[in-house]
Structure 1
């Protein structure tokens, strides 16, 4: 049986999906006139032909219309007023085009009949292919036998017959699929999914495809029967309608089904509303809204339900049921560019209670942060006016001691002109921290820093730095500070800081191992007055850890509230080796305090509390884009114990990759902000084939009681893992994920979750 006959045999509901794979004529036969090499002007009628031109009796089009016409040969019968064109026939009128082997035009009735390799194209770019077509002389309306309709986005419809009226095509006993119908070898293949229907209607003006008595098939197997439905044709980008349902099975919620509805409110805004039904809890409503303002995008996410809240009793560890009440999560974020200089960035996150986010799989953070930041960018200056709010979701929280930071102001100005050959940096900072029950602090800071670099005749780079700073503090309710180390003196207090530093680097470079190596000794001395932190509250300098990134800085405290006192000498060695597609770098260093033990006032366990600091370093290896390994470490200088060891590994490409992160902190710090832990995280994705992939992630707590006395882990405690399998091609996605949580917190219980996803192109994908 010829290929064409085989592809089109048995249309209707018995129409095979292979009918969608009918060969499409080459572009030269679909688009404009294509003259035979030996065609003469006499046998190829062009624009304004006396037989078909506008303005003649029964001509194609109306007077004033532009009609392009071409053919290899043409015959005209005077008695019947019939024009017959043969060979590479092409007609274009008002952005409608027709090509065929033969076209018969009846000037009396105005009917156009095309036969053999027929192709019609509408102004939207949709193409219809058939064996025979009957059209009006406007080329818009008509009937087609054995039709294949190729949409502008690549989707295909095939049918026994079709009619087109006012640009709307109605196909009888038809099939639709946006999937590929040819394999890599060019042979026809069954599309991954298709829709068969008694009737399919395509309306290009509304960008929709409608069905009557339809069934959806995946790999030829019927999945669902739908008496009537419609979906976008893929040409408009977005449209309102139901999306593909989502299915989840969670140990804390039961079996759940979500049915999203997408509401397209315009080219710059939309809303997706997704009701959820669960077997274990009450229904929930998930709403996501987006709007693109002239200044920038804004997104909103709200998840709401009504149910029981389980919490700890005010005294003791007993859990109590607080009864039925509204529960939910709210998030608003966006970025608005007001003009060339001013920009706003904001994020607001709120939860009705401590466990809602985790129980419904929305988030696993134990602290929700909300912020607004208004920024101004200029060539030599930067201004930020921000505010921060926090919601503590931990069980042992002190809700009334959670801070609100408003405002937080930063200003930085760097004049273009040099001063004494160096660069000047002037900055200001202001912060206000308030609590319902706790220490409140207001701070204002002015800072000026001057730095100049020299290159010596031997190749050393020497940098001199001078810093002057003045602080003003106002502290109230100091007695309510969570820890004595954080308290400041009650009332107003001033502080002046003067510091100076000299930094010297001496790089040596040369060939090695087929590449280039660089060895750089590095020395820095910093001097500042003693006892700079006495009576000053500590709000933003609590989490301190000595590492390679702050080895050569003036102040190794984080934030503004603490400044490193006294004089210290830092020294280190940097090494780098670079070859084609290969790079290795290493750094190791330490510091020594020159004016006695403890003058810097660092806490024990930070690596800087003694006269001799711990040894810190970093190793980085990179091989092209396939492998990256980074290690950071800190070693106790007194006994050689490893106090910190962090390793991050990334290997693979965008299709198959592995990431591993290991963190070991053994610092013996008693403050809650700096608890020790040991943890490993891993994630991987493996491309099993062109369309199939498997993926997984895992988090394991390796902390022991000897390492951190407050931990509940036993040395090997999985936190969470996720394993999934996914199929994805250009028109279809199917995935299944198994996730297990190993920890519980009140009504968030350890257990399994199963998430199933399916997406069809143009059906809510």
Structure 2
């Protein structure tokens, strides 16, 4: 009888604090009790005394003494008491009087720690109906408290706090937010989710935003879960110059996801107008291994996205596509609608609708090599009916290509290929080109490589690889306007191809050769270096490349590229096109450096004036962005873009973040120097403070302080 009584007592004590009450108890595993002594008094009272420890299904209770009265079915526990649950919940107290079912009772000097993050302390804690924990004269915080007189960075004091185990909600009456023990905000009622609840309805942390156009305003998001697979976030944004409601809707389906982001605005920038935007995207798995993706990008005016910082895009593209990819097949179809926001472009004369469809299949014939079959269709259409600038085009392409690779006895790697392509086009609205045209383009090529590999005494591995290619393409030029291949250029990716145009509306013809040399080094210490140089020589210049593409003459510019990096986080890559007169036609470089304290990236771009690419002026600009972890808790960031050709800044930003176990504070300042007919320079400041430990505030432990710092 005594043994049974002891077992029932321990089972009741060690029930999980967050579990819901059940109508009928489920079978339980035996509990384990360890104490210095266990006695039963003549009046049927069980006493476990001295270093009491009870274990039950992974839960642990420690106390100085446990007294159980069978007549009253009450437990009296002498502390210090500590109960640890399997979900991370920790309850401590100095003493407790509670029933054996642990559903009703009183704990004095109690502290409740939820999910190893949020601490609730009270003079006393009342347990009600096995569901509610009611704390009187209580405080809640997720900050580390050092010493008996230590003060948390923030805490919320309340006359009463109720924790609902089932709903996982915390209710506060007479709540007072204190920062370093200084009262800041008083709220008569307050509710927030406990940290174990992942998706809770309610307000998220606000953002204070100030811009030179809209003044000082406040964004206050409100999150609304709609079942387990959907949610809606509404964010009112109010300032002296604007009234805006932002919205985000997300939904997960069995075979895909969608997300919609948008806003509706009435402001003083365009008085009397309703402004807004909508961005939507989604991905779905279709039958037979097809994938559907789509995105929608809409806005009411050219400046709205920039005014409110929603996007920096100056051309919007809404698209829907279907794709299937297997080892030997690629099938895809895409429909795109473009909407330009640039003040020097017109949507009437820019291609508004574009469609692309293609199918490619690889075959491996018995006579060797690989046979690749390709079929493509493309079309783009303008709203304008004006001659030439309102041109519409439909183009088709079909190609069969056979290629094979091998290695000779002397170590030469070779590749040979031959094929034929048929290109056809139909033009409408352009009197300078035929309505219809079609050409046949037979082609072939041979590529030879001779890699030389050596290893130094230190273990560094070197490779020197010369490569040459000879190719030929027959047929005539396709007569159509140049809409698809206006931005072609020589680079490492197309040095060994027969046509370096971006699309099949244009093709290089005749004999051509390409030569290149690549040198690489990889050291055991982690350093790696590479340099490459190459050039293309053609029989005649019939392709009409732009001047700065590096391909505008029978002898192309020299392509020079290099890279260097190591395992400590340094990476640099650069390339340039330079002609025989040592004039640079293009240059770009980017370097990054990353370690435990620093993330730094810088880039440079040079594009000379070229009317063929609609570039009236030289483009020369550099940019950098980086973040430096000043200390364990402080991180500073900065970014800058500078236009060297115009000797002015394009954009600049500064940021500062403080993060510890209980708070994240971010301050960001951004200056956009853009100035055009529909854009004005703008300065923006944003401040966000998030209290950790709640389900919306993030993990409280990643930056946990110690009492020495």
Structure 1 position 294 matched with structure 2 position 238:
no
The superposition leaves residues 36-92 of structure 1 with CA deviations (integer Å, 9 ceiling, x where unpaired) of xxxxxxxxx9xx81443569xx999999965635243222122x3211111343457
Tell me if structure 2 keeps the 8 A contact 1:244–1:763: no
Please give the alpha-carbon distance, in whole angstroms, between the structure 2 residues aligned to 1:224 and 1:162: 25
After TM superposition, the score normalised by the length of structure 2 is 0.90
Partner of 1:422: 369
Structure 1 position 519 matched with structure 2 position 464:
yes
Q: 2:662 aligns with which of 731, 741, 760?
A: 731
Partner of 2:48: 85
Deviation at 1:624, TM superposition (A): 1.1
The superposition leaves residues 451-481 of structure 1 with CA deviations (integer Å, 9 ceiling, x where unpaired) of 11121111111111113111221111114xx
Deviation at 1:668, TM superposition (A): 3.4
Please give the alpha-carbon distance, in whole angstroms, between the structure 1 residues aligned to 2:160 and 2:346: 65
Please give the alpha-carbon distance, in whole angstroms, between the structure 2 residues aligned to 1:477 and 1:69: 89
Q: 1:646 aligns with which of 588, 595, 599?
A: 588
Partner of 2:113: 150
SS at match of 1:257: strand
Q: State how 1:214-293 maps to structure 2 within 5 Å.
A: 214-279=175-240, 281-293=241-253
Please give the alpha-carbon distance, in whole angstroms, between the structure 2 residues aligned to 1:360 and 1:233: 33
Tell me if structure 1 keeps the 8 A contact 2:624–2:639: yes
Please give the alpha-carbon distance, in whole angstroms, between the structure 1 residues aligned to 2:301 and 2:26: 72
Distance 1:138 1:122, change over 3 A: farther
Partner of 1:613: 556
Q: State how 1:110-259 maps to structure 2 within 5 Å.
A: 110-121=73-84, 125-166=88-129, 167-181=131-145, 190-259=151-220
Partner of 1:575: 519
Deviation at 1:123, TM superposition (A): 7.3
Tell me if structure 2 keeps the 8 A contact 1:252–1:749: no
Tell me if structure 1 keeps the 8 A contact 2:81–2:93: yes
Deviation at 1:179, TM superposition (A): 3.0
Structure 1 position 433 matched with structure 2 position 380:
yes
Deviation at 1:147, TM superposition (A): 0.7
Please give the alpha-carbon distance, in whole angstroms, between the structure 2 residues aligned to 1:188 and 1:644: 65
Please give the alpha-carbon distance, in whole angstroms, between the structure 2 residues aligned to 1:70 and 1:264: 44
Tell me if structure 1 keeps the 8 A contact 2:622–2:643: yes
Distance 1:658 1:342, change over 3 A: same
Deviation at 1:140, TM superposition (A): 2.8
Aligned residues between the structures: 676
Structure 2: which 5+ residue stretches go unaligned? 16-23, 385-389, 698-709
Distance 1:53 1:748, change over 3 A: same
Tell me if structure 2 keeps the 8 A contact 1:53–1:59: no
Partner of 1:350: 298
Partner of 1:506: 450
Structure 1 position 700 matched with structure 2 position 633:
no
Please give the alpha-carbon distance, in whole angstroms, between the structure 1 residues aligned to 2:682 and 2:353: 37
Distance 1:147 1:60, change over 3 A: closer
The superposition leaves residues 165-203 of structure 1 with CA deviations (integer Å, 9 ceiling, x where unpaired) of 122111111111123446xxx999644322111111111
Partner of 2:38: 74
Q: 2:633 aligns with which of 691, 709, 713?
A: 691
Partner of 1:329: 277
SS at match of 1:478: coil
Tell me if structure 1 keeps the 8 A contact 2:506–2:543: no
Please give the alpha-carbon distance, in whole angstroms, between the structure 1 residues aligned to 2:381 and 2:615: 19
Tell me if structure 2 keeps the 8 A contact 1:405–1:431: no
Tell me if structure 2 keeps the 8 A contact 1:252–1:748: no
SS at match of 2:242: coil
Q: 2:398 aligns with which of 446, 452, 456?
A: 446
After TM superposition, the score normalised by the length of structure 1 is 0.84
The superposition leaves residues 101-120 of structure 1 with CA deviations (integer Å, 9 ceiling, x where unpaired) of 21111111111001022123
SS at match of 1:230: strand
Partner of 2:685: 754
Q: State how 1:657-696 maps to structure 2 within 5 Å.
A: 657-666=599-608, 668-672=610-614, 676-696=618-638
Tell me if structure 2 keeps the 8 A contact 1:93–1:138: no
Structure 1 position 539 matched with structure 2 position 483:
yes
What is the alpha-carbon root mean square deviation over aligned residues? 2.6
Please give the alpha-carbon distance, in whole angstroms, between the structure 1 residues aligned to 2:70 and 2:56: 16
Please give the alpha-carbon distance, in whole angstroms, between the structure 1 residues aligned to 2:13 and 2:585: 91
Please give the alpha-carbon distance, in whole angstroms, between the structure 2 residues aligned to 1:192 and 1:60: 33
The superposition leaves residues 234-264 of structure 1 with CA deviations (integer Å, 9 ceiling, x where unpaired) of 1021200011221111001111111111111
SS at match of 1:358: helix
Distance 1:475 1:53, change over 3 A: same
